[in-house]
Structures are given as structure tokens and as C-alpha cells.
Amino acid sequence: MTTLNSLGLPKAPAATRVVVAMSGGVDSSVVAALLKDQGYDVVGITLQLYDHGAALAKKGACCAGQDIHDARRVAEAMGFAHYVLDYENAFREAVIDEFADAYLAGATPVPCIRCNERVKFKDLMATARELEADCMATGHYIQRKLGPLGPELHSAADANRDQSYFLFSTTPEQLAFLRFPLGHLASKAETRALAARYGLSVADKPDSQDICFVPNGNYAAVIEKLRPGAADPGEIVDLQGNLRGTHQGVIHYTVGQRRGLGLGGLGDPLYVVKLDPATRRVIVGPKEALATRTITLKEINWLGDAPLTSRAEWPLSVRVRSTRPPRPALLRPVSATTAEITLLAPEEGVSPGQACVFYAPEGSRVLGGGWITCAA
């Protein structure tokens, strides 16, 4: 019987090449150090995803110039090869352009999902295969478990660090090649303890909070730079069409927003309930107007054992925002890639452009997800 190594491959670690996607943060650095310590043939790769000059001026983002330097230092300290690849054009075409266009269309995009789907787990994985790697490892907090029909995707052991929302579009073929060595850890403190044990310079490096190409979370400034004229002014109206105020661009607002509307005064607070870019209108209403029970999805990635369309209805749990827990729902397939979700209890602030991620009703298994096109 062939003995499998810790990555589930029938080779000695020294004969197993692992490409590690290194962002320069503590998580991916620990993955690289851990695998090197276990005797694997580690190759670290860091992607330069946007303008390096601008990146150098911004600290704490996952793709900044400092992060490339930090990843290189970890590789030097642990004694494995490290490469920096210029993916700037691919990243702009696959992620940034869609991000800007989605905001202009009144949606609320999640670029980190597209980055994983179109750059890290597609282009970078192709590079890993060209380097004759046996697998690719990342620092994501998610688990890959072997089920009766092959690898399955599961939530991380630490619910506070779980990144399954951002990885729902991982395909079975990709999952066969990927490894997530941190997904079983009980807390981020364990990761930092490992970094300290290996003497890594990034052991105390803070986690990045922003989208890497959006300094200080200022989405509107980035979109205005990418799409001049995007911040045209318009009207703020209520659900009855009454004028309640004016705004300086639809791109400054998201569904569910309450603060910053400039609509002070008496009465119940108002929330953004809809964006209409065609008329440059921001529609506001009471909190109860945000309640959603029905969600329409496109571009579904299904990870269940049976085909999505093999049943008329699937009881499962869904997460409609990365910061919310999964909630009970019914999924009714329309096709292999489209469906309608009925939430058993209404959710507030569900927005087109966000992801809806599926989980098994019990346990930790991720069953895929899709992109929200409509919420009612």
C-alpha cells in the first residue's frame, strides 16, 4: 500500500513540489515555512497585481510593494525559491475593470472572489503546473476534505477566520490541485505562534483590511479615476418618488447604507433600498423595505455530489454577505448555472453584485454559490 504524505500525495515530501501563493502576509508565509520545514520542495510565488509605484505608498494591503519584499525575506530565511510575477494587466482586465463597471451599474461587487477565481486559481495555477508542481498551497482559512466522491470544500475550523464565502467558485478540478494547510487551525493565534517559531519577520504583521487596490476603503475615488465622469450628481428620492435630496454620484452609495445620506431631520431613519444608475437616482426607504426573501442567482458553481438540476428543490443554508452567518433557505434550480433562492427568514440589505454561498444544512461542507442578480 502506497503511503501518502501530509498533502495526500503518494510521494516523499522531498520529491513533492509545492507552489505556495505568497501574499507577503503572515498566513501564506507560515504555509510556505511549514511545508519547507516538513521537507517539501517549496516554490514561493508572489503576484504583482497593480501599479508597483502606487503600491509602495500604501502599507497593509495584500499586494503592496512592502508585501513583495516581505515574501522575499521569508523565502530567503527559509531557503526556498521565490518569484514575483507581473499580473498587472490580467488583474486589471479580470478584476478591476469589472469592479468599476459593477459599481457604475448599481451593484456591490466582491473583487476578492473574482481575484481568486480568475487570477490566483486560474492563471497562477496554470503557472504552477508549468513549474511541474504536484499541488498549490495557499494561506486561506478553509478546509479541503476527502469525501466518498473526491475532495470537498469545508468551512474553516475557526468560524471567525473562515474564508469560504470568498472561495465558493473553486471548481472540483481546482480543488484536486489545491491545499489549505491552515484551515484546521483553531485560531489566528496559532498561525502567529507558528510564524514566531520559525522566526519569520512577518510574525506580528497586522492583517490587511482593505481591498488591495482600494486605499483606505475609498471605492468612489478609485472608480472616478478608472471611469471619469462616474460621479455625476443626481436625485435622492423615496419609494413614492418624492425628492428627498441630491447626491454627488451613485457610486458613493450601496444598498443598506444609512449613514452619509445627508437627509437629517425628524422621522424614522432612511436607508438606501435601490440604486438606479440609468436615471442617476438613489432610492431610499424605511428599514423594512430592505427585507428580502427571494434572490435570483447567475453563474452558479455547484459542488454537490449530485447535479444541481437533479432535484427541483434543495434545502440548504446560504450566506448573502461575508460578515453574516449562514441562514436556512431553499434553492430551486432554473438551469445548471441559474437558480432562485427563497430565504426562510428575510435578510436585510441583499444587493446585486454580492455572492450567495451555499452550505449543507448540517456540518461544514460548502456546496458552491452564485452571484446575486436580483433581490425582492
> For residue 208, which of 2, 26, 16, 79 has the smallest C-alpha distance?
26
Segments of the chain with pLDDT less than 70: 1, 51-64, 265-266
Q: How far is CA 238 from CA 97, 230, 257, 281, in A?
A: 31, 23, 14, 10
Give whole-number Cα distances, 44 to 141, 274, 311, 331, in Å: 18, 44, 43, 40
Just give the CATH number of 13-216: 3.40.50.620
For CATH 3.40.50.620, the residue range(s) in the chain are: 13-216
Q: Return the H-helix or E-strand segment holding 223.
A: helix 219-226
d(C-alpha 149, C-alpha 171), whole Å: 14
Nearest alpha-carbon partner for 142 in 173, 109, 108, 116: 116
For position 64, what pLDDT does the model report? 53
| Nearest-angstrom CA–CA distance, 180 and 139 | 6
Q: Does domain 291-375 have CATH number 3.40.190.10?
A: no
- Active site residues per annotation: 115, 212
What does CATH list as the number for 231-285?
A: 2.30.30.280
Interval 68-117: pLDDT, tens: 999 999 999 999 999 999 999 999 999 999 999 998 888 988 999 999 99
At 56 the pLDDT is: 42
* Region(s) of the chain under CATH 2.30.30.280: 231-285
Output DSSP code: residue 153: E
| The C-alpha cell that represents 365 in the structure block | 461542507
DSSP conformational letter for 56:
H
Question: What is the spatial distance between Cα 103 and Cα 123, in angstroms, rounded to a whole number?
Answer: 25
Q: How many CB atoms lie within 10 A of CB 247?
A: 20
DSSP 8-state assignment for residue 266:
S
What is the reported pLDDT for 266?
Answer: 59
- Extended strands (E) in 102-260: 135-137, 142-147, 150-155, 178-179, 234-238, 243-247
Rounded Cα–Cα distance for residues 218 and 224 (Å): 10
